[in-house]
Homo-oligomer: A and B are copies of this chain.
Amino acid sequence: MPKADLLEFFDAPSDTPFLIEHVSEEFTSVCPKTGHPDFGHVTLRYEPAAVCVELKSLKLYYQSFRNEGIFYEAVTNRIRDDLAQAMSPRWLQIVTDWKGRGGIRSRIIASHGAVPAAWARG
């Protein structure tokens, strides 16, 4: 089972709002229908309120999906919920990009809060 308790956090280094993006290109889970592995990229974007997620703990949390049977849509919403609950960020977005299955590649986007204006350019 994905383990949200692996996640660790540290205090944001500034009160001035800023934005963080972490892109993991090494995510894999298992298709609950066929049992075959799925491979994707997971992008986390957020504006921290009080805390930031520690990078190594984020990696371990993602690794806990490795042998989990779970659909694309559920992975995306699950990560959004786990991180939003643990960090209470001002804004957070999860974008997952999945390699093709049957000639179709997919992207799922789940957000928490409204997009900050400063993110619109950069």
Contacts and interface: CB of A to CB of B under 8 A. Distances in A.
Interface of A: 10, 12-14, 16-26, 28, 36-37, 39, 52, 55-56, 58-59, 63, 66-67, 71, 73-74, 76-77, 80-81, 93, 95, 99-112, 114-115, 117-122
A73 B76 CA distance: 25
Contact of A104 (B23, B36, B122): B23
A24 B36 CA distance: 14
Nearest to A74: B13
A119 B109 contact: yes
Contact of A103 (B10, B25, B73): B25
B63 A37 contact: yes
Contacts of A36: 63, 102
Nearest to A122: B109
A20 to B, nearest CB: 5
Nearest to A18: B110
B18 A108 contact: yes
A18 B14 CA distance: 28
